[in-house]
Amino acid sequence: ALERHGGIDILVNNAGITRDGMFHRMSFEQWQAVIRTNLDSMFTCTRPVIDGMRARGFGRIILISSINGQKGQIGQTNYSAAKAGMIGFTKALALENARKGVTVNCIAPGLVQTDFAKYLWENPELLKTVTEPAPLKRIGQPDEIAGTAVYLCSPASAYVTGQTLVVDGGLTIAW
């Protein structure tokens, strides 16, 4: 992409896996798989494009975290730690690059109907335990997260950097 298009102006880091389990039973392999995928991917995707963004005086970097990076989640110590790390990465990178025209922001989705949480769609009773407390009484759709990313790439968000936008149907305020 760098060679073909002469640079990348917008980067969305949307890598994520889970290896759920209670921490006292979690293996180092479970921990490391999640940290490597969810955190190391930010470095390996961002590092090759940041110099070009800075040189051109424009760039938009968006990281897809999770509400679990803000509130934590039972059985997801590794995932919650990784997603919280993304929020810290966002703030630090925003501070380093704001004067060069590069904004860095984070989206923290709640539950979104993707294959990532397919086990919920296959278990209506379990799904109900998640949606019932949410003010909007439903799960998010991928286009709702994508719409937030589009906003963060648009001129309307030029004054937004270092922020985490929670897109969760009000779930975190209800818990």
Active site residues: 79
d(CA 93, CA 111): 26
Are the C-beta atoms of 106 and 152 separated by less than 8 Å?
no
Beta bridge partners, 59, equal 102
With tokens 């919920």, the residue in question is 120
Sheet holding 10-13, edge to edge: 10-13, 59-64, 102-109, 164-167
